Amino acid sequence: MPIDKIFKDDASEEKGERARMASFVGAMAISDLVKSTLGPKGMDKILQSTGRGHAVTVTNDGATILKSLHIDNPAAKVLVDISKVQDDEVGDGTTSVVVLAGELLREAEKLVASKIHPMTIIAGYRMASECARNALLKRVIDNKENAEKFRSDLLKIAMTTLCSKILSQDKEHFAEMAVDAVFRLKGSTNLEAIQIIKKPGGSLKDSFLDEGFILDKKIGIGQPKRIENAKILVANTAMDTDKVKIYGARVRVDSMTKVAEIEGAEKEKMKDKVKKIIAHGINCFVNRQLIYNFPEELFADAGILAIEHADFEGIESLGLVTGGEIASTFDNPESVKLGHCKLIEEIMIGEDKLIHFSGCEMGQACSIVLRGASHHVLDEAERSLHDALCVLSQTVNDTRVLLGGGWPEMVMAKEVDELARKTAGKKSHAIEAFSRALVAIPTTIADNAGLDSAELVAQLRAEHHNDGCNAGIDVISGSVGDMEERGIYEAFKVKQAVLLSATEASEMILRVDEIITCAPRRREDRM
């Protein structure tokens, strides 16, 4: 039997050069796709789904774009993955990480073509990434002792992060909001306590930060509109069983009076349930499911505010923020943990009425209300703000910051170049290639702004030969500028994650020398 027949008929394999070509081409195509969204002048992409309703997303967030693509190339999937991890880990730098990995592979392809073994390239890349990280560590700025300076660092980081997003026009306003919200968290990275509510109407400038929690519901009829020192029971229970449902029940009776008796019994059951709930000594009852008219009347008579059909995320967050637990049985009131807050009132945002809980148990809770022209604008604004909040909450824990605008890449490239000169053997080619790949990030930032990237990067390189230089690309004036004066800062954690993830991903793709695609499962095989 010939050796080719190991695989099934439809399985395919690509070996050696062809496999490497396929993985390089896929990874570079993905990197070129998101390249145009990098930097303050990056463009947005429209993603249209083919599903029901043809939902449209307008975004320039690398991770969101790549998440929405259905990709067949295995190497491209690796890049999509690192972008997702970057988004979950630090929130920003999702495009940079893909662009850097793509450039590293582009350089590696040239080296492989000139007969340098992939393992040699990997060894060179390893040395270069270590050297680049150390170069950044030497130049970090850390102001954690000085609260005022640290706050201004955080503001600058937030503004730099928002610069490339839809919020760039009002970045001062949103940066203030993000920094205030993150300071309320007191060092925790749990962003669930910051709730983002989107309300179409008004302009992005009208967005605001509000302490406390806002629930997107109306207060029922005949119930108190304002409660002070509220004790809140958060529940997930059925409060709609006081009527016999026509569709769900089959009861055989010989007269209408019997039906009335059954309904009366149901009503009594409901009355008992409501009594048990009132026995908790509460003045606000929030339920995830419906509350029918009868129990609602009973609550209103007892002077309890009953809120029905609160969405699940709202309920979870409300429980978290007020310090209560979600209950579904009410037999032993002492074991149920109630939530507390100082004031519950109804507020108006635009045309809508919402319920506002202020003075919550968990002091770090706050709500950011976003206003904007349409749902697409609001979704993109939420993504941008979420990125800024992620970066800030990570920076509060790891307080080291760097300058931005292509400055870190030039610092790393300079050190890596020097390492290449000192290294003997073929590895030096790989180390040099690594430095060229790093310079691709400032080059792309300049290209996207329509500037002459070759001229600017050459100027930058010359500037960086002076010690203690702060030069980076200033896309607003279209020249090389001092990043410290411009207030363009980035978090060290983001840059480090970009560098390490991109190097590891490109190493992984470089190691590939064969791609085997399984045969699709046939219907008959399942029998």
322 catalytic per annotation? no
User: Which residue of the set 94, 160, 395, 503 is catalytic?
Assistant: 94
> What per-residue string of b and e applies to 447-467 under the rule 16 or more CB within 10 Å gives b?
bbbebebeebbeebbebbeee
59 catalytic per annotation? no
The first and second tokens of residue 302, run together, are 């007892």
Do the Cβ atoms of 448 and 38 come closer than 8 Å? yes
Report the Cα 305 to chain-centroid distance in Å: 35
CB within 8 Å of 305: residues ≥ 6 apart: 219, 220, 223, 224, 227, 230, 283, 284, 285, 299, 344
95 catalytic per annotation? yes
329 catalytic per annotation? no
User: Which residue of the set 87, 92, 153, 387 is catalytic?
Assistant: 387
Do the Cβ atoms of 131 and 140 come closer than 8 Å? no
User: Which residue of the set 95, 161, 395, 423 is catalytic?
Assistant: 95
The first and second tokens of residue 317, run together, are 């967050």
Please state whether beta strands 194-200 and 366-372 pair in parallel, antiparallel, or not at all (unpaired).
parallel
CB within 8 Å of 332: residues ≥ 6 apart: none
Using alpha carbons, select from 185, 204, 124 the residue that is nearest to residue 371: 204
User: Which residue of the set 57, 61, 161, 503 is catalytic?
Assistant: 61
Residue 326 Rama label (left phi>0; alpha psi -120 to 50; beta): beta
Give the CB-side neighbour count of residue 438, counting CA atoms within 13 A. 32
CA-to-CA distance for 481 and 357, rounded, in angstroms? Answer: 47
Do the Cβ atoms of 257 and 309 come closer than 8 Å? no
Report the Cα 492 to chain-centroid distance in Å: 18
Do the Cβ atoms of 305 and 224 come closer than 8 Å? yes
**Among all residues, which ones are annotated catalytic?**
61, 94-95, 387
